Amino acid sequence: MSIRHGLLALLERGPRYGSQLRTEFESRTGSTWPLNVGQVYTTLSRLERDGLVVQDDEDDQGHTLYAITDDGRAELRNWFETPVNRSSPPRDELAIKLAMAVGAPGVDIRAVIQAQRHHTVKAMQDYTRLKAQALADVPANRDEVAWLLVLEQLIFQAEAEARWLDHCESRLVRLAEAATTEPAPEPRAPLRGPARSSARTPARIGRPRGRD
């Protein structure tokens, strides 16, 4: 949905064609979420189907231009004004991986956590370096400001992930210590079958025989 509304936001600035929209989308987000032209045109077709954009005209090079409609502007305004829904969070590969690693035979979950922490910290350092470069000069236009916001979101996200990984490791350590200090369960008494009677079973009484 972010691609759908992102394209509408770009079209609100004026008619655009597919490749132009892709370039401007990636410029605004610092190529954090790269698009391909096919994805852009597929989204434009759906927007046109829903009456949110129309094919406007062609430029001098023969590119088909798309323009936002009044319904598209209303959709865009609603998107800006409505909070992002967190009641159905997207699937997180790392959370799923750790959940499946718990108790999985032959998997050292602490090694998985340590490897991920190393990768996450490295990514956070790279984002911080990019942010320092972006702040070396005052952002000159809206694309540079937008890229700075995206960078800072990535930094905060990496910091939160690193803290969560520390928390996961600490919890695993506490659970392991608790397991070693718990008293061993007392052995259960063996199950016995029903008691047998010591009295002899009486002989079966047959029909009396007649005399010869």
DSSP notation for the chain? -HHHHHHHHHHTTS-B-HHHHHHHHHHHHTTSS---HHHHHHHHHHHHHTTSEEEEEE-TT-PEEEEE-HHHHHHHHHHHHSPPP-SSPPP-HHHHHHHHHTT-TT--HHHHHHHHHHHHHHHHHHHHHHHHHHHHS---SHHHHHHHHHHHHHHHHHHHHHHHHHHHHHHHHHHHHHHHHSPPPPPPPPP--PPPPSSPPPPPP-PPPPP-
The model's confidence at residue 200, banded by pLDDT at 50, 70 and 90, is very low
196 has pLDDT over 70: no
* pLDDT the model gives residue 1: 53
Rounded to an integer, the average pLDDT of 111-137 is 93
Average pLDDT score over the chain: 85
Tens digit of each residue's pLDDT (9 = 90 or more) over 135-148 = 888 777 888 899 89
78 has pLDDT over 50: yes
Residue reference for tokens 């949110």 = 52
% of the chain exceeding 90 in pLDDT? 58
175 has pLDDT over 70: yes
Higher pLDDT, 33 or 161: 161
82-118 CB burial, b ≥16 within 10 A, e <16: eeeeeeeeeeeebeeebeeeeeeeeeebeebbeebbe
* pLDDT the model gives residue 194: 54
The model's confidence at residue 186, banded by pLDDT at 50, 70 and 90, is low
* pLDDT the model gives residue 41: 94
